[in-house]
Structure 1
Amino acid sequence: MRGDGNGFVENPDGTKHWGLHGAAGLLLRAPAPDGTALILLQHRALWTHDGGTWSLPGGARDSHETAAEAAVREALEEAGIAAEAIRVRGEQVTAVAPSGWTYTTVVADVVEALPVTPNNESVEIAWIPEGEVELRPLHPAFALVWPELRIGYRDEA
């Protein structure tokens, strides 16, 4: 049943969102040498929705997946980060559309900034210092929630 989430959901106003069963992304943190956090970001390929922007690895949920399962799978597919290396800390629905579609951000940690391997959906995958995330051209939806996510995950530590 893998892969049954690929497709667009259309809202009453005609706007569309990717993921027939919703979508999820992984806010993956690693410790930086100075004690701050590094955040794994994906520079989206130009052919993707809002291509050329930076966001979290993520994508469509399949019908049998939780948000965490989907986000961890997407991190493997898009960045080469193995599920065994990831410690999920929590999740938050960060977007809801009139159609009922949702986007869930899953917050997780790794013990160190692991090597990454981008797939064809990425121009680049990089560990970015937390304080520099907003300096990049962010995906519009991620830009809206990043300030809240940045504060929120610290509360969970």
Structure 2
Amino acid sequence: MRGDGDGWVFGSDGSRRWGRHGAAGLLLRAPGPTGRATVLLQHRAGWSHHGGTWALPGGAIDSHESPEGAAVREAGEEAGIARDSLTVRAERVTWTEDSGWSYTTVIADADTQLATVPNGESTELRWVAEEDVESLPLHPSFARSWPALRSVPVRAVLGPDVVTTPEPRTVDLGERGFGWIVAVVATERVEDTIDAVRGENDGTAGTADRRTTVVITADDAVRRAVGSVLAAEL
């Protein structure tokens, strides 16, 4: 069923973009066999715009929808992904045009590599390891936005206020992009949190743990104590 967002928007240079109210796509991550991040990519059908390239499930935003709502809906239509099987973590406007058109990438996680059901807009849907994404022929716009969307491995130091150990998942690093939790260190006191961070920074942590360190906490006192180390909430 066609929505009121379906239609082309033309830029001053004659380029065209799909979506009268802009467009959105879903960047869905899930842990691969080793726990490292994989992303769900769509091999676009040959008849579609930039057919034969790889990109995210997505499409036009209808006038009544948020970018998140549109991205999740499109993932359901194009990949058979149910809304209750994923957790949205963040969104980024990854493309804008002088016409006012924009594309929003909605970032979400799934606990496992979900089964998919392609529709006529796809020749294939595939879970791809993040390090292998650039080896595929990517949609030009996705290729330009991918460096800011891909994740870096993250070592999560849990503050004393955190009682739930997070599974592998995306962490929003703000201007630094995104991280993917691959190691977790739990602490019981603020002093332990500081020591865990210092151990990483002074090189005493094991080689396998020398990754971007993020402190997971909602406690302002812990945030102040860890200083310049990025603090994020679950």
User: TM-score if structure 1 supplies the norm length?
Assistant: 0.96
CA distances 1:94-149 after superposition (whole Å, capped 9, x unpaired): 00001000000000001100100110000101111111111100000000111111
Corresponding position of 1:21: 21
Preserved contact between residue 61 and residue 70 of structure 1 (Cα < 8 Å) = yes
Shift of 1:2: 6.7
Q: Secondary structure at the match of 2:115?
A: coil
Q: Higher relative contact order by CA 8 Å / sep ≥ 6: 1 or 2? A: 1
Q: Secondary structure at the match of 2:150?
A: helix
Which whole-Å deviations, capped at 9, do the CAs of 1:16-45 have from their partners, x for residues lacking one? 100000000000000112120110000000
Structure 2 residue runs of 5 or longer lacking an equivalent are 152-176, 181-231
Distance in 2, Cα, partners of 1:153 & 1:28: 13
1:153 aligns with 2:164: no
Partner of 2:157: none
CA RMSD in angstroms comes to: 1.6
Aligned equivalents of 2:2 and 2:107: distance in 1?
23
Secondary structure at the aligned position of 1:39 is classed as: strand
Q: Is the 8 Å Cα contact of residues 9 and 17 (structure 1) preserved in structure 2?
A: yes
Could you tell me which residue of structure 1 aligns to residue 7 of structure 2?
7
- Name the SS of the counterpart of 2:68 in structure 1: helix
SS of 1:154's partner is strand
How many pairs align?
157
Q: Which amino acid aligns with 1:103?
A: Y
Matched, 1:79 2:79: yes
Q: Which amino acid aligns with 1:154?
A: G
- Could you tell me how far 1:74 is from its partner in structure 2? 0.5
Letter in 1 for 2:77: E
Q: Which residue of 2 aligns with 1:100?
A: 100
The CA distance in 2 between the partners of 1:106 and 1:44, in whole Å, is 19
Identity of aligned residues (%): 59
CA distance, structure 2, for counterparts of residue 102 and residue 79 of structure 1: 23
Determine the C-alpha separation between the residues in 1 that align with 2:74 and 2:128.
18
Shift of 1:64: 0.5
Matched-pair contact (CA < 8 Å) for 1:2–1:62: no
TM-score by length of 2: 0.65
Runs of 4+ with deviation above 3 angstroms: none
Structure 1: gaps of 5 or more residues: none
